[in-house]
Amino acid sequence: MSSFDRSLGATQRWRLDVAYDGNGLSGFAYQPETVTVVGLLRETLARTLRLAQEPDVVGAGRTDAGVHAFAQVVHVDLPTVFFENDRGPDVGRLLYSLNKQLAGRIRILKAQPVSDEFHARYSATWRAYRYLVLEDLPPALNVTSAWSWTTPGPIDVEAMNRCGTDILGTHDFRAFCRRPTNSLTSEPLLREVLDVHWQRVDDEWGITPTGSPALRLSIRAQSFCHTMVRSLVSTMVAIGQGTLSENTIKGRLESLERDHLPAPAPPGGLALIGVGYEEFAGGPSGFVR
């Protein structure tokens, strides 16, 4: 296929469901001087379709450097001329070509045409994350893996679930979020949390240092603010370890003060596992328990 300017003319909006390993990536959002999820997708799409310029890629939400995704969703508008043939778009061939070039750093799980009304971010009704904690009994290793956070035990899961109920519903999460640039300190950071639950999961593959079960947080909300999940994780783990009171989260949601709370948990334990959409938009991504 010869190269020509495909930046002009009619376009078709596509929804892409993608997964990625956050290690070695400087987060999700496009940054010209660093390697990011959006940057790699833009570059690979432009090269594969021989576009004159890189297309805009819009995601359901941003993830920080080191954070993973099993079910991120993006949309991109691509020239219809690429798909104009009697047989329709060869999606399988396109996915094969894109994934081969992305070489496992990002994997496009599914591609489907959608209406122009679909927006990866604004059409989403919820986002779901998972965080993995490895409970290390003495002697403590205090190490962090690329996919989990190893921290000293024992950890009281029941205590973490009790304080987790204080997160449910709509609250001002200023005490647990990094404020957006140029926003006022008096501006609320309201978020509605729909589900939150900790559970022990069997370590059938012997991943943990001691062979003990891992602790998994599942949390779902309409949206999250910056570092919200990781800040809640570190606070709940400290409660489970007995170094903070079970009333800590409730108190900070009321006071809005962050002083003397633990630093956010490491990014490696966090993964985006699902995004909710209505049927017109292709339904939810991922598998949320």
Question: Is residue 126 scored above 70 in pLDDT?
Answer: yes
The tally of CA atoms less than 13 A away on the side-chain side of residue 194 is: 14
Question: Is residue 139 scored above 60 in pLDDT?
Answer: no
| pLDDT tens readout for residues 214-251 | 899 999 999 999 999 999 999 999 999 999 999 999 99
**Residue of 5, 17, 64, 116 with catalytic role:** 64
Give the chain's radius of gyration (CA, Å). Answer: 21
User: What was the pLDDT predicted at 152?
Assistant: 87
Residue matched to tokens 């070509």: 97
| pLDDT tens readout for residues 140-150 | 555 556 788 98
Query: How many angstroms separate the first and last alpha carbons of the chain?
Result: 44
On whether the CB atoms of residues 160 and 239 are closer than 8 A, the answer is: yes
On whether the CB atoms of residues 22 and 69 are closer than 8 A, the answer is: yes
By three-state DSSP, how is residue 161 classified?
helix
Residue 221 one-letter amino acid: A
Highest mean pLDDT of the ranges 4-18, 58-72, 190-204, 210-224: 58-72
Stated pTM of the model: 0.89
Phi, psi of 153 (to 5 degrees): -110, -175
The tally of CA atoms less than 13 A away on the side-chain side of residue 248 is: 24
Cα–Cα distance, 247 to 206 (Å, whole number): 34
User: What was the pLDDT predicted at 237?
Assistant: 98
Task: Please indicate whether residue 287 or residue 143 has the higher confidence score (pLDDT).
Answer: 287
Is residue 202 annotated as a catalytic residue, yes or no? no
| pLDDT tens readout for residues 152-178 | 889 999 999 999 999 999 999 999 998
Q: Which domains does the chain have, with CATH numbers?
A: 11-122 (3.30.70.580), 126-277 (3.30.70.660)
Task: For the chain, give the mean pLDDT.
Answer: 88
Give kind and range of the element (H or E) at residue 286.
strand 285-286
User: What was the pLDDT predicted at 124?
Assistant: 97
User: What was the pLDDT predicted at 4?
Assistant: 39
Q: Which two tokens stand for residue 260?
A: 């003397």
- For the chain, how are helix, strand and coil distributed in percent, rounded to 5? 25, 30, 50
**Residue 2 confidence class, pLDDT cut points 50, 70, 90:** very low
Question: Is residue 3 scored above 80 in pLDDT?
Answer: no
Residue 171 one-letter amino acid: H
